[in-house]
Structure 1
């Protein structure tokens, strides 16, 4: 086990590469399944509810356990929990690849998300341990770039693997490919990662986790698959439990904070207007982007008859646009123009998303035109999502930086699950031109994002 004080620059680089491998593993598996979903649905005979849970279950489990995963690392050591997270993720991936029913695959995906929630926070914590503050700037920027590339690579890799049909495994290979990668990450972690833990472990708030977890389950269970035939009003009765559970959870964490005990989050953060509005914008925007990518990948294959490989490759223009929007537009113009950058970005997506989904299905436009619109869609997405994080934490005290960042990540994952639930249910419920039904929901959410962004303060980055 390496001693942090004695690590050479080369050893630190090898440790960083180990963490990057795990980061890519976690992010790719969020998006790789979109391309594979039609093949999975056909192979396992999964209904629309199971299909949505296969996508949303991962994000939901990840979101609900993310804060707990960070606290496990504080208490038991970042290296140890990182290794356990990678092992759990690898075993869950094997279970996904061996699943014979939709229910089995949903269960395995929930385990994947839970293991990812243990693994991911330790990578961020170990970067803090390995590098001094100045070094962290470039390392964290690299994590952001690689994370963006990994999310783009997921659908592309899924299409390539299904088309290659390695060992006649079909869609299963998109999960089984994680086994050698996970094994390599475990070995590298044992060799290169130092042991470290927080000097002041944060403790646990199991009751808070349970209350908010039950609230999310009561919300998502009826929403996912809501469009299936035979669903009456009784199917949505669990949603009545959401408000009292959220209220009880809020009261609980507020009391713990008042008593100086560890809590799931600090309610005082929500008194900061930019943070409160940034979270609302984050969850809404994450919902529409996740819904868009799900409908786009499924509709290309189910409505336009394209192969998984072509579907994956068509995500590349979107990815290039997103990289430009995040790396150039939002970074360059957010300090100068503030809220106008996400307003313009979301506004660009309104006609671009409409053109992509209509043109690639009903209109059957030339692929070159669809690709150009995908670049515009990605650029608008990057301009918006690249601003949400900095805006939300712009007025957050540094003492709350860690919990604020964790809450941002949690709302992004919850938003993704919500988008799959709402937009996916609408898509699968409509038999005639379902992509246009999904598009209607996407456009409404985009308009809501424009309004939210416009209601942000006009000047957010002035010195206090």
Structure 2
């Protein structure tokens, strides 16, 4: 497998061919519009981190409820992403993108007007579902309407936007909470989405090209139910179990998750062998590039979300920063993350898949610098400037990782399965983001009472460092595997 083959015209014998509407070229305005949609969905995963103390005070929310405000969005998002990609394949990616944008605006309004904590949780779940309609169409549209070097640049830009959106979410959230516009406080972090979604909807009608599968696939009701059940059974107890004392329901759900996963895999295999239309074709997972990228995505996204969740708490509760100062502190990560993402095509031509290895090393060095800064400096004297060197290195490593993940993931996906491939890629991303909060975030919160916030965050950084070591070793193995993308063919196709 090469890292960026031109698969824009590739079709498998059993896959439906690709059909495009009147506008088949992704113009700069169309690209800007779909990337705006992608950034909205990513921003809203992180934007609430710095608003949680205000939400807790205003709505009298318990710690478990606050975790659900974050995780409810992520779980609904992850569970429905593959279905969103399938719907785009069937009904048209532009139509589903526009529906998703409209639903995102409405559900953001519902979040901003929430009268109570559980209303907010419900609105966040609905907002996650809207994002699941919107995001797969972005990757699917890029994959179906670009090819060659232009696709490589566009995917790199998508990776840059995906990464910077998380950082922008916390910075923007802090600014909006601190500004307290018209007395809206934390509600502004949701209300700001409404005019942006309206603008994206108006422009998207004309600027976003349409694409879909020529022969619409039949619905896979049983597969959809089992897939949703397996992900929910895994993510919900991992998110809420610690905060609620690991009640019986959480243990039972965790036990049921692998059984539901096995049942889903069996149903999908039977559907594909029988000529049906499985929600997630097993043959897609047999593509070496798809499998490799999914495995490499685990430490990337689990580490990213766990870090951002814990760091937001450290900044506000440990260092005593206000919401605005805490949000602005992460800006150095963005200053290096965007240019690093855009350099990925050049880095791949030079180093092949080893670019991921080098990025993991740079990221690990950044974590070490940040850990030493937190360890050796009195927290009462610790300024955002002192944290900047470590964050700059983290951003550079992370920028390459994100862009290269999407490039790997989409390289082997036939254009006729662009929606399903985009949905699968984004599902791994969102599932791992939720897992990061549920595992690394819960570890951090669980250690605070025993070892203090400094010790707890050092432990969380150590866990992320182990993940980066695994990423570096995994990418080395990928680079050295025959046909895995580490040789001359990779550099030539970049």
Q: Deviations over 1:190-235 (max 9, x none)?
A: 4545555431223332212211211121122222233336445664
Matching residue of 2:391: 374
**Distance in structure 2 (CA, Å) of the matches to 1:269 and 1:374:** 36
Q: Secondary structure at the match of 1:457?
A: helix
**Matches of residues 163-202 of structure 1 in structure 2 within 5 Å?**
163-193=178-208, 197-202=212-217
Unaligned runs of 5+ in 2: 1-19
> Is this contact kept in 2: 1:159–1:308, CA < 8 A?
yes
Distance 1:146 1:273 in 2: 26
Partner of 1:215: 230
Between 314-323 and 121-130, the greater mean CA deviation after superposition:
121-130
CA contact (8 A) 1:59 1:417 kept: yes
1:431 matched to 2:481? The reply is no
2:463 pairs, out of 421, 441, 444, with 444
Superposition deviation, residue 388 in structure 1: 3.4
Secondary structure at the residue paired with 2:352? helix
Aligned residues: 460
Change (3 A) 1:417 1:46: same
User: More deviation in 322-331 or 155-164?
Assistant: 322-331
8 Å contact kept, 1:423–1:438: no
Partner of 1:280: 295
Say whether the 8 Å CA contact 1:291–1:442 is kept in structure 2.
no
* Structure 2 residue aligned with 1:48: 63
Conserved? CA contact 1:64–1:209, under 8 Å: no
The answer for the alignment partner of 2:310 in structure 1 is 295
Q: Which runs of 5+ in 1 are unaligned?
A: none
Residues 359, 113 of structure 1: CA spacing in aligned structure 2 closer, same or farther, 3 A cutoff? farther
User: 2:265 pairs with 208, 229, 250, which one?
Assistant: 250
Q: 1:165 to 1:389 in 2, by over 3 A?
A: same
Residue in structure 1 matching 2:87, options 48, 72, 75: 72
Higher relative contact order (CA 8 A, sep 6+): 2
SS of the counterpart of 1:257?
Answer: helix
Q: Which moved more, 1:180-189 or 1:131-140?
A: 131-140
Task: For residues 264-294 of structure 1, give each alpha carbon's deviation from its aligned partner in whole angstroms, at most 9, with x where no partner exists.
Answer: 2232444456543432331232111101001
> Following the alignment from structure 1 to structure 2, what is the Cα–Cα distance between the partners of residues 205 and 193?
28
User: Could you say if the C-alpha distance between residues 113 and 437 of structure 1 is closer, same or farther in structure 2, counting changes exceeding 3 Å?
Assistant: same
8 Å Cα contact 1:300-1:360 kept in structure 2: no
1:98-132 alpha-carbon deviations (Å, 9 max, x no partner): 11322221111111111011122333444566667
**Deviation, structure 1 residue 36:** 1.5
1:32-47 map, 5 Å: 32-47=47-62
How far the C-alpha of 1:161 sits from its partner, in A, is 1.2
Alignment of 1:225-236 (within 5 A): 225-228=240-243, 230-231=245-246, 235-236=250-251
Rounded to whole Å, the distance in 2 between the matches of 1:330 and 1:452 is: 20
TM-score, normalised to structure 1, is 0.87
- Using the TM superposition, give the Cα deviation of residue 137 of structure 1 relative to its aligned residue in structure 2, in angstroms: 5.0
Q: Distance in 2 between matches of 1:173 and 1:359?
A: 37
Where do residues 96-175 of structure 1 align in structure 2 (5 Å cutoff)?
Answer: 96-127=111-142, 136-175=151-190
CA contact (8 A) 1:257 1:266 kept: yes
Distance 1:229 1:262, change over 3 A: closer
* TM-fit CA distance, 1:133: 6.3
Superposition deviation, residue 241 in structure 1:
0.6
Per-residue CA deviations over 1:297-343 (Å, capped at 9, x if unaligned) read 12211222111111111111111232344333785154173563244
Deviation at 1:453, TM superposition (A): 3.3
1:58 aligns with 2:73: yes
Could you say what secondary structure the match of 1:224 adopts?
A: helix
- 1:191 and 1:44 map into 2 onto residues whose CA distance is 41
- Judged with a 3 Å threshold, the aligned counterparts in structure 2 of structure 1 residues 396 and 99 are, in CA distance, closer, same or farther, namely closer
Contact 1:426–1:438 (CA under 8 A) maintained in structure 2: no
Give 1:13 deviation, angstroms.
Answer: 4.3
